[in-house]
Amino acid sequence: GAVVSQHPSWVICKSGTSVKIECRSLDFQATTMFWYRQFPKQSLMLMATSNEGSKATYEQGVEKDKFLINHASLTLSTLTVTSAHPEDSSFYICSARGPWGETQYFGPGTRLLVL
């Protein structure tokens, strides 16, 4: 149980375009979802926390107008990287937490390359 999927797993885009990444909880209702970014050989960096039906809470230094998060249902959250630039190239990982408590289950991640 507690499976989280992400789509796409890989995306390559041109600078200036927008990219949408989906995160789905497949076998449970996710009360809260989290978005992380990880650069090569670095630790996880929390970007934002989202609860279904409410605005996301962004971590300090994360531009909310650049990284748009929508948590429209209890099984789906999306992260849109707007006007992507090469420095946005990274590994984006979502995680989800269900009603059982604090355990977070991670999706497989999305690798973004902005040319």
Partner 1 sequence: QKEVEQNSGPLSVPEGAIASLNCTYSDRGSQSFFWYRQYSGKSPELIMFIYSNGDKEDGRFTAQLNKASQYVSLLIRDSQPSDSATYLCAVSGNTPLVFGKGTRLSVIA
CB of 34 to partner 1, least distance (A): 5
CB of 14 to partner 1, least distance (A): 24
Choose between 82 and 106: whose C-beta lies nearer to partner 1.
106
Choose between 3 and 18: whose C-beta lies nearer to partner 1.
3
Pairing relationship of beta strands 110-114 and 10-13 according to DSSP bridges: parallel
Choose between 51 and 70: whose C-beta lies nearer to partner 1.
51
Secondary structure (3-state) at 106: strand
Question: Which residues contact partner 1 by CB under 8 A?
Answer: 32, 34, 43-44, 46, 49, 57, 93, 95, 101-109
The residues, ordered by sequence, that sit 6+ positions from 13 with a Cβ below 8 Å of its Cβ are 19, 84, 112, 113, 114, 115
Tokens 């998060």: give the residue. Answer: 69
Whether residue 81 contacts residue 87, with contact meaning beta carbons closer than 8 Å, is answered with: no
CB of 16 to partner 1, least distance (A): 27
CB of 68 to partner 1, least distance (A): 19
Choose between 82 and 89: whose C-beta lies nearer to partner 1.
89
Report the Cα–Cα distance between both ends of the chain, in Å, rounded.
Answer: 37
